[in-house]
Structure 1
Amino acid sequence: MSFIIYPVACVYCRRSHMTCDDGRPCQRCIKRSIGHLCHDEPKQPSSSSQSNAQQAPKDRSPMSAAAASSNSYNPLSSHMAAGNGFGSNHSNLGGLPLQFFGQMGTGQLTFASEHMGNEISVISDFLDSLGADMNPMYPNQQPHPQQHLQNNSSVNTAEKFFLTAADPSDGKLEDRLTEVINAKYEAGFLKPYNYVNGYARLQKYMDNNMSAASRQRILNVMGTFRPAFRSVAQSLTDIDLILVEEAFERLLLDYDRVFSSMGIPACLWRRTGEIYKGNKEFASLVNVPIENLREGRLCIYELMAEESAVNYWEKYGNIAFDPGQKAVLTSCLLKNPDRESTSVISCCFSFTIRRDKYNIPTVIVGNFLPVQLQ
């Protein structure tokens, strides 16, 4: 089945390649709590790339169809179709090569947030390297490469946000806040964290620094938690993810006080491994500037010896989506990220998983107690 853009679709249903009714606001936008933003898009001359993208399922291969649609993605769309099948279609996101997939077996998966759909797709990409027997990608199910909005659409959404923020509609405070948040999101000023780049970074590191056996052990771990992650991810919208990101920022502030008051080397990282906070004791232990332990400049697996990194991923994967477990005590060998450095530090290592209200890991906090210098 190919994408069909119906003439009666509002601007948001059109961008998501979904049908909608004749009402304005349409029922789909009302259910998404953006009824106040629902409108028809002014008719524009169709670009050749959009025409080619619509015709691609009929007369082109999946690879060429994906290339033709490279200008048809809407970054403000909060619904997309994605799944967990495997294929060989490549797009470029954040300067790193990624693969996206459509459908596995006969079950079609739809994600309320393109960010969650992209994340489960890139996890499936990892598992594809295990040689799993999966169906090929269907081009009508892939996330779209990024599309630049028409200038007038960008201006309209930005103006709508400023007008909404300046003069929200009457009603309850919570409703007015929701209205402003939705307008800010539709204008492109609020975005969930992009974990896809984190998985791409992990894949690149494994390819360049790990043996085939170690890579496969990590991939096996992802196969264990993918079903649980997928079942939760399908129901989350971009607004949900933005609120989760707000909670993450609050945790960072809380750990400012915790890390400054403890003498044990410690740091915290996201579920894909990017370190977002560390104390001076941990920076001294691995011999890096403390500024490098912020904003994902380093990843936790980059500071571990290969076997220790694999051991961490295996233990993390075993409890990642088990709400009854949150802490693990193990050991590891830490190292400086400089590839020329050969010294390692043996540590007693514990980590605790902090989950959001949807039971998805958002923060992993690690404590390291050196026991032997080598």
Structure 2
Amino acid sequence: TKPYDYTEGYHFLMKHLPTRFEKNDILRIVRALAIFRPSLIALQMPLSLDDEVFVEKCFQRSLLELDKLMSFSGTPTVVWRRTGEICLVAPEFCMLTEWAMEDLVGPGKRKYIYELFENQSVVEYWENFASHAFENTTQSVYSHCVLLKPSGAPVPSTFCFSIRRDLFDLPSVVIG
């Protein structure tokens, strides 16, 4: 196991924004990122390579537990990293959105949760994430969003997401 390169995920986001968003929306997303990124960087700085490997092993272990839990729930569920990279998908989510599981997760696949949201939902998601990434009082964030099918057709939804933190108090897993 090697440490996960979170920087790559944020670089993808920054390249993705101008291809899809108006300037005002890009500014709102960048402002949201500016709220929590300095804290992330400050908390990550003292971590050793062994710490980062341990965090990734814990993350992978969490995915195994969540996969088992999702198999019992029958709820459209997606699990992603703090960068938005999708790591785990329940079959019910695929039924709801018509996305094939193979298009969302798998070897060599990198799909980000914000790629499945319409634009306004992306902006609101990052603003919500920024508000709650380091907050200890909120268990779950409830919101509305519009998911996009592979065809681009909208799927209006109500959802909640929870942010789990790792041993070093960094936001690690987002369950939505």
Shorter-chain TM-score: what band? over 0.9
The equivalent of 2:78 in structure 1 is 267
Give CA deviations for 1:22-78 in whole Å, capped at 9, x if unaligned: xxxxxxxxxxxxxxxxxxxxxxxxxxxxxxxxxxxxxxxxxxxxxxxxxxxxxxxxx
The DSSP-based 3-state class of the residue aligned with 2:73 is: coil
CA separation of 1:324/1:357 partners in 2, compared to 1, >3 Å: closer, same or farther?
A: farther
Where in structure 1 do 4 or more consecutive aligned residues deviate above 6 Å? none
Deviation at 1:319, TM superposition (A): 1.1
Secondary structure in structure 2 of the residue aligned to 1:288: coil
In the alignment, the residues of structure 2 paired with residue 352 and residue 281 of structure 1 have an alpha-carbon distance, to the nearest angstrom, of 18
Any conservation in 1 of the 2:80–2:113 contact (CA below 8 Å)? yes
Match of 1:288 in 2: 99
Identify which of 301, 308, 321 aligns with 2:114. Answer: 301
Answer 1 or 2: higher relative contact order, Cα 8 Å, separation at least 6.
2
Preserved contact between residue 283 and residue 293 of structure 1 (Cα < 8 Å): no
The answer as to whether partners of 1:275 and 1:294 remain within 8 angstroms in 2 is yes
Matched residue, 1:333: 146
Corresponding residue number in structure 1 for 2:172? 362
Counterparts in 2 of 1:1-374, with a 5 A limit?
A: 190-295=1-106, 297-336=110-149, 338=150, 341-366=151-176
Read off the aligned partner of 2:131 and give its amino acid letter: N
Residue in structure 2 matched with residue 44 of structure 1 by the alignment: none
For residues 332 and 226 of structure 1, what CA distance do their matches in structure 2 show?
A: 24
Kept after mapping to 2: 8 A contact 1:266/1:365 = yes
Higher strand share: 2
Q: Percent identity?
A: 36
Q: Give me the whole-angstrom Cα distance separating, in 1, the residues matched to 2:135 and 2:168.
A: 12
Bigger radius of gyration: 1
* Structure 2: runs of 5 or more not aligned: none
Which structure features the higher share of helix residues? 2
Contact kept? 2:29, 2:126, Cα under 8 Å: yes
**Aligned residues, how many?**
174
TM-score between the two structures when normalised by the length of structure 1: 0.45
Q: CA RMSD in A?
A: 1.4
Q: Kindly provide the amino acid, as one letter, of the partner of residue 87 in structure 2.
A: Y
Cα deviation digits, residues 108-129 of structure 1 (max 9, x gap): xxxxxxxxxxxxxxxxxxxxxx
TM-score normalised according to structure 2 size: 0.93
Instruction: Measure how far apart 1:231 and its partner are.
Output: 2.6
Letter paired with 1:329: Y
